[in-house]
């Protein structure tokens, strides 16, 4: 019988894991956490998750109890920004200076401790820039329902945002993709670019950081580390114990995608180093209707998630890959004309500029 792998969560990451499982002869079943019937789990099945946190439902309780839920204990620890930061600190890794937002702490105390501008982040549940609150002026306050529920971070004046996606297998061997340069607008990822020669000198630093975390957690599977580059130093922003949006380019631009690596690692298959093919740019489709004309673009692969389109919601992405930088640039410009002006004009310009600066 084929190995069955259940995925807690049935969003786009689960769907892409399922897709990647087919050529590996793995039966991957993403499960909606609100299903009214529990999955029919066998002892030999494996369980993984596409999200780091979940409410207790019939489905999540059944999956979480399974003895072969890989990395079970890691999710809670990383899903809470406070325990995630404590882990990073305990390993002596660089991260944005932070404080726990204890009850009754004032905005001014936090700004005295951390600096003029402070970013509050809810300990759990935030994503795509949601669950953030800035303290910049004397009038800004810690919202009542954030007391005891948030951490406070120093505002980092970073040069750019870079992520590292890597995988650790059950023998403890780690492999990593080249660093990915990311553009976030309004707290949400718009564009990712990899590989970039000018980031190569930071690769070892990043791999040492993520490798240390993966080993400390005895983690198996794909993890992403988001960092801020300040000069030649990387500060960890946050960790995601799962496949990650900034690794989506690997579907088109690497011999083994992040989705395939995750499945290989948890199913105890080999995880050889990836071959990266060409220059990659990934553009997220955010709050925009499907446009059939995207399919006319050369060197572009469109991934549509089939979700209802809402403002600020990720509904798909486009991977552009080519060895011909001129073709890639021309395609990006054409793509820009097929996307809304708001945010995309900036995202396309940033992508073109980042390719030119390499």
**Using CB under 6 A as the criterion, which residues of the chain lie in contact with ligand ATP when the complex forms?**
96, 119, 121, 126-129, 153, 155-156, 161, 184, 187, 226, 237-238
CB of 202 to ligand ATP, least distance (A): 17
- DSSP E strands in the chain: the ranges are 3-8, 26-31, 46-49, 98-101, 118-122, 132-135, 150-154, 160-168, 174-176, 180-185, 188-194, 221-230, 233-240, 279-286, 300-304, 314-322
342 contacts: CB under 8 Å, gap ≥ 6? none
CB of 161 to ligand ATP, least distance (A): 5
Which entry of ligand ATP, Mg ion, none binds 99, CB below 5 to 8 A by partner kind? none
**Residue whose CB is less far from Mg ion, 45 or 226:** 226
- Choices 13-21, 145-153, 201-209, 220-228 (CB under 5 A): range interacting with Mg ion: 220-228
Which entry of ligand ATP, Mg ion, none binds 52, CB below 5 to 8 A by partner kind? none
- Choices 138-146, 173-181, 221-229, 253-261 (CB under 5 A): range interacting with Mg ion: 221-229
Tell me if 165 sits within 8 A of 258, measured CB to CB: yes
Cβ-based burial of 335 (10 A; exposed 0-12, middle 13-18, buried ≥19): buried
- Choices 8-16, 224-232, 273-281, 308-316 (CB under 5 A): range interacting with Mg ion: 224-232
In the beta sheet, which residues pair with residue 181?
162, 193
CB of 288 to Mg ion, least distance (A): 21
**Residue whose CB is less far from ligand ATP, 239 or 256:** 239
Tokens in use for 131? 């669950």
**Residue whose CB is less far from ligand ATP, 26 or 156:** 156
Tell me if 243 sits within 8 A of 222, measured CB to CB: yes
CB of 188 to Mg ion, least distance (A): 9
CB of 59 to Mg ion, least distance (A): 26
99 contacts: CB under 8 Å, gap ≥ 6? 105, 110, 113, 114, 151, 152
- Choices 15-23, 139-147, 219-227, 228-236 (CB under 5 A): range interacting with Mg ion: 219-227
- Choices 31-39, 204-212, 222-230, 308-316 (CB under 5 A): range interacting with Mg ion: 222-230
8 contacts: CB under 8 Å, gap ≥ 6? 31, 33, 47, 48, 49, 50, 51, 54, 59, 60, 63, 64
User: What does the binding site for Mg ion look like in residue numbers (CB under 5 A)?
Assistant: 226
């Amino acid at each position: 019988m084929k190995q069955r792998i259940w995925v807690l969560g049935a969003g786009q990451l689960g769907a892409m894991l399922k897709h990647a499982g087919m050529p590996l002869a793995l039966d991957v079943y993403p499960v909606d956490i609100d299903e009214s019937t529990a999955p029919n789990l066998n002892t030999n099945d494996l369980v993984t998750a596409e999200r780091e946190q979940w409410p207790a439902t019939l489905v999540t309780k059944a999956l979480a109890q399974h003895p072969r839920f890989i990395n079970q204990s890691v999710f809670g620890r990383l899903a809470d920004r406070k325990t995630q930061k404590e882990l990073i600190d305990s390993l002596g890794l660089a991260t944005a200076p932070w404080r726990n937002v204890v009850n009754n702490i004032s905005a001014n105390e936090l700004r005295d401790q951390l600096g003029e501008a402070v970013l509050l982040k809810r300990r759990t549940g935030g994503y795509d820039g949601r669950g953030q609150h800035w303290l910049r002026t004397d009038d800004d306050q810690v919202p009542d329902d954030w007391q005891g529920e948030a951490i406070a971070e120093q505002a980092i004046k970073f040069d750019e945002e870079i992520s590292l996606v890597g995988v650790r297998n059950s023998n403890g061997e780690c492999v990593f993709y080249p660093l990915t340069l990311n553009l976030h607008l309004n707290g949400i990822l718009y564009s990712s670019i990899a590989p970039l020669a000018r980031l190569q000198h930071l690769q070892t630093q990043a791999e040492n950081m993520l490798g240390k975390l993966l080993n400390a957690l005895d983690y198996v599977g794909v993890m992403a580390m988001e960092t801020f580059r300040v000069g030649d130093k990387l500060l960890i922003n946050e960790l995601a114990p799962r496949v990650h949006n900034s690794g989506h380019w690997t579907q088109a631009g690497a011999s083994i995608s992040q989705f395939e690596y995750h499945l290989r690692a948890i199913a105890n298959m080999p995880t050889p180093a990836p071959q990266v093919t060409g220059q990659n740019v990934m553009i997220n489709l955010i709050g925009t209707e499907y446009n059939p004309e995207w399919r006319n673009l050369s060197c572009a692969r469109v991934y549509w998630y089939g979700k209802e389109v809402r403002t600020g919601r990720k509904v798909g992405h486009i991977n552009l890959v080519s060895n011909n930088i001129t073709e890639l640039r021309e395609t990006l410009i054409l793509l820009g004309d097929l996307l809304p002006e708001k945010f995309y004009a900036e995202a396309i310009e940033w992508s073109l500029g980042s390719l030119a600066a390499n």
